[in-house]
A and B are shown apart, each in its own frame.
Chain A
């Protein structure tokens, strides 16, 4: 089986580039597949699931063209192949309704993207560390292959600073 991938669902090219940059900085070595709208996300997800490949982590923006992030999550939760997969909503919105809807659809986390890049990069690093390394994935789900040493050393360095 090929290495579990990270599905990044993001329509804003700047945010996509920044997230990729932050993942690179966090030394996360998983393949990263980018979907630029909700429909594309579902296509990729189910096409890959057909080949037996499931994402170790899905990072989901909410405000997307065609099919919204919440719709993507609804479809994922409704399909037995993807219903237990870890999903992080990563968005600009902290609107009460979005947060509630996200949790109602069993999102595993809801993170508002910080504006300052150092905070954003730190958030991505911690999320990667937690979901790809420490978290026990659901049965059938794939554990992330990550440079654990690099991630944890990063954490140590930060506490020192």
Chain B
């Protein structure tokens, strides 16, 4: 397309020369107009083309529409399926929760009856063996007396075992109420309690200040009582008892603590058995205990999202380490 711009001749009309230039101008204008028409035609054609294309697109769209509707319908079906599945799942979860609740309640009832019903016969064994001794008076031999004493001691021991089993189950069932706890001051009061019970012992406690953790108060108390109590027990034969409570080095990237002592230690080959209930690495006459303490510690730490491990050598002391999850980790 060409657009020609022509300047009209600037002459007054009338003269032949003027007329000539006027007609020339008209011609020019007509010429221009025909150019315009061409343009219009071209654009009309283009518009028609576009319309044609659009109608093709519309046809195609019409073809697509049912497919889309089908897909939507399918989606609707899927949605219903998902909803049904969801409902089923929820129902199943509710059923399982009910089941678990029932099992828990049974467990509670069982624990209760263990506590109540097993203690009564034990009390009878202990009481009547003693009453028997009284009845027989001087008429009983030294051996007979010894046997009666054994009955009494055994029933007492069994009652301690029952209590500790109950404690272990309590530790597993108790609800966790986590809060910020000052472990340093807790450790210090446990240590001073132990030291005051045996003022004749020479002991040094090194407890690092400001150790805090986000834990259950009464359960972590059990952990520290057991670990520091064990350290105290297994250092009884040392001239100078050394017990420390510190945090794990920062480069481990974990919130953790350890109790170290200079006591009897243990054979590292048996490390795994330390945390099993009723497993003991030392003779009961040497170091009394029922082997339930570290099992409780292990369960409590597990419930706090941490782990527990021990390091030691025979006669060269032991250290017990534990980690706990932090408040930030819990809130993730």
Contacts and interface: CB of A to CB of B under 8 A. Distances in A.
Interface of A: 12, 14-15, 17-18, 21, 63, 91-95, 113-118, 120
Nearest to A117: B127
25 contacts: A14-B123, A14-B124, A14-B128, A18-B123, A18-B128, A21-B127, A91-B116, A92-B115, A92-B116, A92-B120, A93-B112, A95-B112, A113-B123, A115-B119, A115-B155, A115-B159, A116-B152, A116-B155, A116-B156, A116-B159, A117-B131, A118-B130, A120-B123, A120-B126, A120-B127
Contacts of A95: 112, 115
Interface in B104-159: 112, 115-117, 119-124, 126-131, 152, 155-156, 159
A93 B130 CA distance: 24
B177 to A, nearest CB: 14
Interface in B178-233: none
A125 B116 CA distance: 23
Nearest to B124: A14
Given A93-B115, A95-B112, A116 B126 contact: yes
Interface of B is mostly: helix
Contact of A15 (B112, B123, B152): B123
A15 B156 contact: no
A-B pairs with the 5 shortest C-beta distances? A115-B159, A14-B124, A117-B127, A18-B127, A92-B116
B130 A63 contact: no
A118 B152 CA distance: 10
Contact of A117 (B112, B120, B121, B130): B130
Contacts of B131: 18, 21, 117
Contacts of A15: 120, 123-124
Contacts of B124: 14-15, 18
A93 B119 CA distance: 9
A115 B128 CA distance: 12
B132 to A, nearest CB: 11
A63 B116 contact: yes
B123 to A, nearest CB: 5
Contacts of B130: 117-118
Contacts of A63: 116
Given A92-B117, A92-B120, 16 more contacts: A12-B120, A14-B120, A14-B124, A17-B127, A63-B116, A91-B116, A92-B115, A92-B116, A92-B119, A113-B119, A115-B119, A115-B159, A117-B126, A117-B129, A117-B130, A120-B126
A14 B115 CA distance: 17
Contacts of A115: 119, 122-123, 126, 155-156, 159
Nearest to B130: A117
A14 B155 CA distance: 15
A126 B131 CA distance: 19
A93 B108 CA distance: 13
Nearest to B123: A115
Contacts of B152: 116-117
A17 B130 CA distance: 13
A92 B115 CA distance: 7
A91 B156 CA distance: 17
Nearest to A62: B116
Contacts of A118: 130
A19 B11 CA distance: 146
Contact of B123 (A93, A94, A117): A117
Contacts of A92: 115-117, 119-120
A154 to B, nearest CB: 16
Contacts of B120: 12, 14-15, 92
Given A115-B156, A116-B152, A93 B116 contact: yes
A93 B155 CA distance: 18
A113 B124 CA distance: 11
Pick the most buried of A15, A91, A116: most chain B CB atoms within 10 A of its CB. Answer: A116
B157 to A, nearest CB: 10
B115 A94 contact: yes
Contacts of A120: 123, 126-127
